[in-house]
Every structure is written in C-alpha cells, then in structure tokens.
C-alpha cells in the first residue's frame, strides 16, 4: 500500500479546496515542483496531481506546472482534471505522465473512456467522486444519479487499470475518510483502488489499512497542514 501525496494546481500554484468549492481556496505553495520534490525526498513513490482549472472548465491550464513537476521528480506521476478526450491523454503521456485519471468523461463520454483504455493499456484510471453514494462530475459541481459502485464495476469492464475513489463530503475537511464506502468499492472490483478524501490523521490511515487489497491512500491537506507526518505515514503502511 502506498501513501500518495496530492498536488492540486490552480492558476499554476499548489492549493487545497474545501469540499471542492473553487471559491474556498488555500494556497500552500507557489512552487509545485519543489513541493513534489520534497514529498519524494520523504519517501513518496507516486505523486497525484489534479488540475483544478481543468476539472472546472474542461481545459487544462496548468501544463507548465505539470511539466516542471515531471522534470523535478523521478517517481511515477498520475494526473487528472479536465481530461476529456484522447488527444489530451496522448499529450500528457508524451510529457512523461505515467497514469491518467479520467472523471467526468467516465459518465459523459464512456465510449471515449473505453477506447482510451484500449489504446493506452495500464495507464487509464477512473476517478470516481461520490456524494451519498452518487457520482459527482464537473469538478463536483454536478451530482448524477449513478451509483458509485455500479460505475466502478462498469469501468473495470471497460479496461480501467484502477479506480480513485473520493468521498467529496470528506475532502479537504480533515474529518476522516469514508472507510465503509471505500471498502465496498474495493470489494466490488479486482483492479487497484485508491482511497481519497478526508484523511486527517495516522489513525485514519490505520483505519484504511484494514481494507483488503487497497492499493493506496491519497492525502493532501493533512500533510500540508502538518496534521500528518508523511514519512511517518509511509512507515506506518509499510509496517502494516
């Protein structure tokens, strides 16, 4: 199991939002590449990047920051946010991005997602963001009537290499992850599942390690605020 630091990009800088609200933003660093380097120096083996401008608008506006992060670290990078066509996927892969996270297009353009999984095997993950069990899209601004578990099963069938599951009511709130909902997603599929949203303490991480075959845990605000020591968290999951 991996502890995966999150870098959320908005206007080229490293930020965190509260429950995905674009007006409720805290800037943590104006040098995302240096932040990524720091996380790697602490032992991170994978970096999770979200282009928030892309998630809200469908147009990625943080490519330069993503390029700088790629040059700064030698571990795999996964990127999501506003990736809604194969040309954008091809561009990011050409820049050395290892894994691509597709969220809104999972619901809006399922055939594109299926084709992307075929064209880029092992590189496409489904980002499933849920509120009360229902999938949310477009930067969490729209909640659909699709059940998260049903979508996870469908994306596995389409060829997704993994799923990032986020409970959006917990994200950025430091209130603890939705362990039971994450457990249900992990039990429903055989591909990798990564937990995200609300991880605020080492106890939260311990709780998530109880989920069989969970691939990783994303944490953002908690490591920026100091609520979680990244090195200690990494050590904890390795021991577990």
pLDDT value at residue 20: 52
| pLDDT given for residue 167 in this prediction | 86
Does residue 192 carry a catalytic annotation?
A: no
Number of domain units in the chain: 1
Instruction: State the number of CA atoms in the 13 A half-sphere of 150 facing the CB.
Output: 8
What is the model's pLDDT at position 135? 94
Q: Taking Cα atoms as reference points, which of 238, 236, 207, 202 lies closest to residue 219?
A: 202
pLDDT of res. 215: 97
CATH code: domain of residue 58: 3.20.20.70
C-beta separation of 161 from 193 below 8 A: no
- pLDDT of the residue at 170: 64
Domain that holds residue 53: 2-239
**pLDDT tens-place values along the chain, 240 residues long:** 999 999 999 988 877 676 556 656 678 888 999 999 999 999 999 999 999 888 777 777 799 999 999 999 999 999 999 898 999 999 999 999 999 999 888 999 999 999 999 999 999 999 999 988 899 887 667 888 999 999 999 999 999 999 999 988 765 555 688 999 999 999 999 999 999 988 999 999 999 999 998 999 999 989 998 999 999 999 999 988
- pLDDT for 22 equals 60
pLDDT the model gives residue 115: 97
Give the pairing of strands 99-102 and 124-131.
parallel
> Among 116, 114, 115, 143, which residue's Cα sits nearest to residue 128?
143
Asked if 217 and 199 count as a contact pair (C-beta separation under 8 A), the reply is yes
* pLDDT on residue 137: 85
- CB atoms closer than 10 angstroms to residue 234: 20
Give catalytic status of residue 8 as yes or no.
Answer: yes
Catalytic residue, candidates 8, 51, 53, 192: 8
Q: Of 51, 53, 129, 167, which residue is the catalytic one?
A: 129
Whether the CB-CB separation of 3 and 217 falls below 8 Å is answered with yes
pLDDT at 173: 57
């Amino acid at each position: 199991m991996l502890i995966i630091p999150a870098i959320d990009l908005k206007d080229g800088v490293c930020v965190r939002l509260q429950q995905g609200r674009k007006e409720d933003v805290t800037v943590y660093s104006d040098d995302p590449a240096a932040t990524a380097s720091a996380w790697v120096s602490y032992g991170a083996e994978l970096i999770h990047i979200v282009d928030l401008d892309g998630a809200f608008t469908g147009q990625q506006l943080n490519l330069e920051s993503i390029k700088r992060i790629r040059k700064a670290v030698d571990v795999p990078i996964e990127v999501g946010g506003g990736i809604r066509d194969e040309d954008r996927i091809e561009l990011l892969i050409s820049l050395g991005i290892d894994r691509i996270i597709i969220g809104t297009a999972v619901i809006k353009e399922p055939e594109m997602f299926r084709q992307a999984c075929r064209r880029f095997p092992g590189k496409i993950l489904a980002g499933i963001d849920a509120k009360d069990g229902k999938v949310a899209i477009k930067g969490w601004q729209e909640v659909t009537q699709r059940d998260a578990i049903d979508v996870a099963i469908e994306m596995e069938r389409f060829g997704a290499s993994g799923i990032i599951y986020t409970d959006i009511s917990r994200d950025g709130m430091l209130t603890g992850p939705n362990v039971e909902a994450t457990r249900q997603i992990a039990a429903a599929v055989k591909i990798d599942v990564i937990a995200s949203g609300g991880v605020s303490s080492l106890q939260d991480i311990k709780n998530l390690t109880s989920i069989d075959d969970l691939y990783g845990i994303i944490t953002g605000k908690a490591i920026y605020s100091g609520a979680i020591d990244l090195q200690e968290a990494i050590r904890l999951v390795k021991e577990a």
